[in-house]
Structure 1
């Protein structure tokens, strides 16, 4: 069975892309876990009807680091938990990439040159009967 004692990325590796990916995936996992803790704690505080903003911030500032440190300690003591974390960080990278792609897609400016060209081509094609018919046939065959 493979040893899971050393799961941290080795900075002395020859492949800088792998080192960069390892460091990015670890940091994304850490910050993703912190964000998940904050969100869950906020939901609990809302259900407990603690509406005071200052009180919520104080509770979150104390409880989030405590939960994070307790979880890290548990993960360090349990080899199976470290193995699960090692595999989960790839999922975290995929989620971060999907969220970044969704954000960039939502923020895409439709005033770009390519967008204007596409709109102009669609308007021109709509006015030319043969072009419209060809585009309709092409779309129906796909």
Structure 2
């Protein structure tokens, strides 16, 4: 009897790293789709010149879940779209990691002792004219 199942090696579903990555990528993809739906609807509402913020919020609260569910239903029915979404999970995780890294880099506060020494040296050097001149000359020749 011939076997019809795939001969590709199967990953162990008990691997906690794989399970964690799968959960994170699915949820990040879902929230990414919701964010895209909200953004697109917001752009449409801006172009329709709806002035009232409460009307905008009401429309967004009603239409976003409807659009999201319609999109998910169509993705589930189309195998090619499902494959694209499975592959897009990795891109979503990479984008989320890049955004998190950029945010952490922008908001990083270095409270180390070396940083305090550097700041103190810069502030004290600004008070001495000869030190400031030497630092400026060093910076200009570098």
Normalising by the residue count of structure 1, what TM-score does the alignment of the two structures yield?
A: 0.73
Q: How does 1:1-142 map to 2 (within 5 A)?
A: 13-119=13-119
2:71, 2:114 → 1: CA distance?
A: 49
1:60, 1:136 → 2: CA distance?
A: 55
TM-superposed CA distance for 1:113, in Å, is 3.3
Number of residue pairs matched by the alignment? 123
Runs of 5+ consecutive residues of structure 2 not aligned to the other structure: 6-10, 124-130
TM-superposed CA distance for 1:101, in Å, is 1.0
**Secondary structure at 2:89's aligned position in 1?**
helix
Deviations along 1:51-105, one digit per CA (max 9) or x if unpaired, are: 2111001110111011111111101101000000000010000111111111111
Runs of 5+ consecutive residues of structure 1 not aligned to the other structure: 4-9
CA RMSD of aligned residues (A): 2.8
1:116, 1:14 → 2: CA distance?
A: 47
Name the CA shift for 1:65/1:111 in 2 (closer, same or farther; >3 Å): same
Name the CA shift for 1:115/1:46 in 2 (closer, same or farther; >3 Å): same
Normalising by the residue count of structure 2, what TM-score does the alignment of the two structures yield?
A: 0.73
Deviations along 1:28-47, one digit per CA (max 9) or x if unpaired, are: 00001101110110111011
**Whose radius of gyration is greater, 1 or 2?**
2
